[in-house]
Every structure is written in C-alpha cells, then in structure tokens.
C-alpha cells in the first residue's frame, strides 16, 4: 500500500520545515542563530520524539518512505495515515 493518496496539510509542512532547518542551523552555526541553545534542544527533542513514534507505530508504516515522513512530520503523518486507512477499510466493507 503506497501513500499516494495521503494528503498532508501543506502550511503545516512548511512550518515544520522551517523549524527543522532553523534547528539544524542552530547546531551547525550556533554563533549566528538567535536562541541557538533553545533550538538545539528542539532538534534533540524532534529526533527523539519522532524515533519513538517510528517504533510505536511500526506496524502501521509501510516502507522506508513512510518512516522518513514520520521522522519529518511525526504525528501529523500518523493521524493522516490513520484516517486514510479507516477510509479504505470502510469503503472496502
């Protein structure tokens, strides 16, 4: 089962991308980023939380691409995938 039909919220993805990029920049160039130590902590939290989500929801995830989506947007992808699976299950019945 591919995730072709899973539609994620585009504005939320752009916000998450900004947080990820700013957090990575805080690790790479801490002297040029305001609140670098805070965003370094945010990066550690994001990595740990999304890794835990990958372990918890591993039975629902199919393939490397979905694991990468969970590592990027976490629960946003999980909720969308659950809705997609529920919709597919109810349409098959």
For 16, the token pair is: 């998450």
Determine the pLDDT at residue 3. 52
DSSP line for 43-61: HHHHHHHHHHHHHHTTTT-
Q: Report the run of H or E that residue 14 belongs to, with start and end.
A: helix 10-28
pTM: predicted TM-score of the whole model, two decimal places? 0.81
Phi/psi of residue 5, nearest 5 degrees: -90, 0
Q: How far is CA 39 from CA 46, 59, 62, 75, 76, in A?
A: 10, 31, 31, 20, 21
* Mean pLDDT of all residues in 64-77: 93
Q: Residue 11: pLDDT above 70?
A: yes
Determine the pLDDT at residue 4. 61
Summarised one tens digit per residue, pLDDT across range 31-69 is: 999 999 999 999 999 999 999 999 999 999 988 999 999
């Amino acid at each position: 089962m591919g995730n072709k039909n899973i539609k994620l919220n585009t504005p939320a993805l752009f916000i998450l991308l900004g947080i990820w990029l700013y957090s990575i920049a805080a690790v790479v160039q801490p002297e040029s980023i305001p609140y670098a130590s805070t965003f370094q902590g945010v990066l550690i939290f994001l990595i740990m939380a999304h890794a835990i989500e990958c372990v918890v929801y591993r039975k629902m995830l199919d393939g490397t691409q979905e694991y990468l989506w969970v590592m990027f947007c976490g629960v946003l992808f999980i909720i969308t995938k659950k809705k997609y699976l529920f919709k597919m299950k109810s349409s098959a019945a």
